[in-house]
């Protein structure tokens, strides 16, 4: 895999120990296969410079968990976020949702060298937060994630993954070009989230977080596909 990491600096030798433990999939080095996305990430700060670092990852002998595979749903992604990120769980229902999803929808992240899945950076985190607090149905959540052009990320989580990573070089990114693109994507995501929440209502087959608990739904249940 050829992957990219957007940053305010060149990173010829990324280190697992430098990763923050409360990122989406835990401590790791977060990249993307989309160089344009990496260029935007490189310019999300308030001022230049920005760099798109390029790497080659030999993944044949690694354990790769792809959360976009058919056997997984958006609920598996939410379960991982709940285990790693900080949510504003302001009600007993939200706390119960967190515990239930982690217990019943957690994919084998701890056994994986590499995780591929959605990212929950900045405004995108609002989607997951609204779902956990029972304000967004599974269907609306899935729609919002796709309409918001969320993008996929590749997280290297183990020493084995880092050993299989080769630095290819970096390019300095035009901040004047890519910072507005990053802002526009973020603004679009926020707009899509607000639209999804305002739609409100409940279709006959809509499933909210509390419904998952009441109906004892679990990973693999056909109704959630």
Q: What is the domain partition of the chain in residue ranges?
A: 2-173+195-224
**Strands of the 64-66 sheet, one edge to the other:** 29-31, 152-156, 114-118, 64-66
Highest mean pLDDT (candidates 17-26, 154-163, 173-182): 154-163
Which of the residue ranges 23-27, 44-48, 146-150, 216-220 would you say has the lowest mean pLDDT? 146-150
**Residue 108: pLDDT over 80:** yes
Global pTM reads: 0.87
Sorting pLDDT into bands at 50, 70 and 90, what band is 119? confident
Specify whether the CB–CB gap between 192 and 147 falls below 8 A. Answer: yes
What whole-number percentage of the chain has pLDDT above 70? 88
Residue scoring higher pLDDT (32 or 129): 32
**Per residue in 41-69, pLDDT tens?**
999 877 888 999 999 999 999 999 999 89
The token duo for 45 is 């700060």
Per-residue model confidence (pLDDT) at position 12: 97
Specify whether the CB–CB gap between 35 and 167 falls below 8 A. Answer: no
**Residue 168: pLDDT over 90:** yes
From the CB of residue 171, how many other CB atoms can be counted at a distance below 10 Å? 16
Task: Provide mean pLDDT across the span 170-183.
Answer: 92
Per-residue model confidence (pLDDT) at position 197: 62
3-state SS class at 15:
coil
The token duo for 163 is 């050993």
**Residue 90: pLDDT over 80:** no
Sorting pLDDT into bands at 50, 70 and 90, what band is 118? confident
Instruction: With residue 80 as reference, give the H or E element that holds it.
Output: helix 74-84
Residue 80 to residue 144: CA distance in whole angstroms: 18
Per-residue model confidence (pLDDT) at position 153: 92
Q: Which of 149, 165, 117, 183 is nearest to 4 (CA)?
A: 165
Residue 154 to residue 68: CA distance in whole angstroms: 12
């Amino acid at each position: 895999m050829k992957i990219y990491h957007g940053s305010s600096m060149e990173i010829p030798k990324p280190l697992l120990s430098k990763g923050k433990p409360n990122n989406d999939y835990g401590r790791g080095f977060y990249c993307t296969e989309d160089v344009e996305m990496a260029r935007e990430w490189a310019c999300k700060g308030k001022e230049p410079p920005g760099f798109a670092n390029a790497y080659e990852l030999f993944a044949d002998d690694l354990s790769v968990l792809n959360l976009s595979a058919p056997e997984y749903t958006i609920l598996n992604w939410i379960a991982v976020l709940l285990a790693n990120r900080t949510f504003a769980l302001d009600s007993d229902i939200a706390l119960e949702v967190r515990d239930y999803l982690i217990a019943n929808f957690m994919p084998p992240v701890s056994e994986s060298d590499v995780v591929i899945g959605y990212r929950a950076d900045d405004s995108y985190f609002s989607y997951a937060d609204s779902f956990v607090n029972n304000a967004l149905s599974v269907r609306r959540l899935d729609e919002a994630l796709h309409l918001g052009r969320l993008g996929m990320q590749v997280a290297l989580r183990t020493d084995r993954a880092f050993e299989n990573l080769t630095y290819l070089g970096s390019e300095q990114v035009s901040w004047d070009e890519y910072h507005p693109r990053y802002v526009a994507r973020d603004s679009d995501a926020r707009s899509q989230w607000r639209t999804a929440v305002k739609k409100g209502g409940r279709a006959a087959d809509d499933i909210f977080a509390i419904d998952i608990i009441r109906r004892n739904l679990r990973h693999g249940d056909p109704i959630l596909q």
